[in-house]
Amino acid sequence: MKRLLLFSFVFIAVSLVWAVIWPVSFEYAVNGFGLWFNGSVNRGIEFVVQNAPVYAPVQGEVVFECTEETLFGGFPVPQGSMLVCKNQGDILTIYSGILPSKLLEQHPVFEEHTMLGTTRDTADAHMYTYIFDLKNTVYLHPHHVYPEIKENILPQVRTALLMQDTIEVSLSTVKSIKQGNWYIKLRAVDLITQNYVDGIKTVTCLLDGAEKQSVVLDTISIKNGKLYYQVNKAWSNNVLDDEGFLILGPIYITKGKSIISLVLEDFYGNKKSYSWPVIVE
């Protein structure tokens, strides 16, 4: 095992800038930030590519590397290897599933475009990249740092349910509901390429045109082992259920005719509004 610990975590303010390159081409990206798979929320981007060079998107310094499958005490290393780099201020870029370059041992400080290592030379090679803000203990969507992808595909709703106690009804088929507090159970995605599926940046819920709730999903805070998201400009850990569905509400719906709307926005400003009329008894 090889590990480098070369700095103290000094908490200072930092502003993010776009990197000049992706660590590997976004054409190899598959599962993006905020997606639910394998029983958890992805806090980075997954790439599927065999024996590919991985380049530094921004200048930085290696602070940790590991090329064995477990740390001391038997703690497993994701994808069997890891590289952690300090970039601006308190920002860390983390790579799992990378085989670090041996040159980093002698030259841990690097510039943009420096080759950091390679992905594994196996048919099922997977690499993950994460951006972590040490000061605020939040994971940031890597699109905050990586170069912009020119895409205009609108975010998509895959599942939208109204939920009350043990009742769950699809918004696309429900005609009438009872007056009272209701939750919306949502799964939505943003398609970047044919293979790259990303999470959405924000979702805003409206009732008859009036905003009821707004959730920001491009940052995830970690507190006491729990995941927090920004809901109406405050942090909340009551955003996802055990199956990874986004839970909005409660929203009190009174008798009469109402229109429930969801406005989804991706990281590049593409927006799509979905609306469903309901009769409230």
Residues 93-108: tens digit of each pLDDT: 999 999 999 898 889 9
* For range 46-71, the mean pLDDT: 88
In this predicted model, what pLDDT tens digit does every residue of 257-279 receive, in sequence order?
A: 999 999 999 988 899 999 999 99
Band (pLDDT 50/70/90 cuts) for residue 15 is very low
Q: What tokens does 86 get?
A: 């300090």
3 state SS of 60: strand
Q: Cα separation of 32 and 268, whole Å?
A: 14
Is residue 71 predicted with pLDDT exceeding 80? no
Q: Is the pLDDT of residue 69 over 80?
A: no
CA–CA gap between residue 135 and residue 137 (Å, rounded)? 6
Other beta carbons within 10 Å of 133: 19
Mean pLDDT of 114-137: 93
DSSP assignment of 82-129 equals EEEEE-STTEEEEEESEEE-THHHH--EE-TT-EEEEE-SSTT-EEEE
CA dihedral (55, 37, 18, 149) in degrees, to 10, reads 90
The token pair that represents 137 in the structure block: 């203990």
**8, amino acid identity:** S
Classify residue 59 as left (phi > 0), alpha (psi -120 to 50) or beta. Answer: beta
7 pLDDT tier (thresholds 50, 70, 90): very low
Phi, psi at 79, each rounded to 5°:
60, 10
Give the model's confidence band at 39: pLDDT under 50 very low, under 70 low, under 90 confident, else very high.
Answer: confident
Q: In which residue are the tokens 């799964």 written? A: 187
Note the pLDDT of residue 256.
93
Q: Quote the pLDDT of residue 18.
A: 60
Least trusted range by pLDDT, from 66-75, 148-157, 170-179, 226-235: 66-75
Write phi, then psi, for 263 (nearest 5 degrees).
Answer: -110, 115
Nearest to 220 by CA among 96, 131, 159: 131
Domains of the chain as residue ranges with CATH: 26-144 (2.70.70.10), 156-280 (2.60.40.10)
3-state secondary structure of 229: strand
DSSP 7: -
Identify whether 23 is preceded by a cis peptide bond (ω within 30 of 0): no
pLDDT of residue 13: 33
